[in-house]
């Protein structure tokens, strides 16, 4: 019994640390995002996507898999992964999100070719 309680208390401490760290980092993430908007590295229309605030609703009777890609190369790999997943099980819904403007543009360009 003691070991189980020790594990639970360790998880609680880690979760508290994680939440404190996020509370500290959020203002810096906001400032960085605004700076990237000013220099043209971010698309203002995609800010909700960037923070996963407008993910599509799942279709009825479909499980949704979300793949997040950070860079342009990762977005191309995510497209290939999604394509492979759908070949195995086409009853799934796959959503790909990207972090950068260039990753988004590369994914859109490549997706039109598929």
Q: Cα 51 vs. chain centroid, distance in angstroms? A: 8
CB 52 within 8 A of CB 97: yes
Q: Which residue has the tokens 């790909």?
A: 96
Q: Catalytic residue, from 42, 74, 80, 105: name it.
A: 74
Active site (annotated) includes residue 74: yes
Tokens encoding 79: 């497209």
CB 31 within 8 A of CB 63: no
Residues in the chain: 114
Q: Which residues are catalytic?
A: 74
């Amino acid at each position: 019994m003691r070991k189980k309680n020790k594990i639970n208390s360790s998880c609680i401490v880690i979760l508290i640390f994680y939440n404190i760290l996020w509370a500290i980092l959020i203002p810096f993430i906001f400032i960085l995002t605004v700076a990237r908007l000013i220099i043209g590295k971010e698309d203002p229309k995609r800010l909700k996507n960037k923070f996963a605030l407008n993910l599509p609703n799942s279709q009825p009777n479909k499980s949704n898999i979300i793949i997040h890609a950070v860079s342009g190369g990762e977005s191309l790999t995510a497209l290939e992964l999604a394509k492979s997943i759908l070949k195995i099980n086409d009853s799934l819904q796959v959503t790909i999100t990207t972090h950068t403007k260039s990753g988004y543009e590369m994914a859109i360009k490549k997706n039109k070719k598929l």
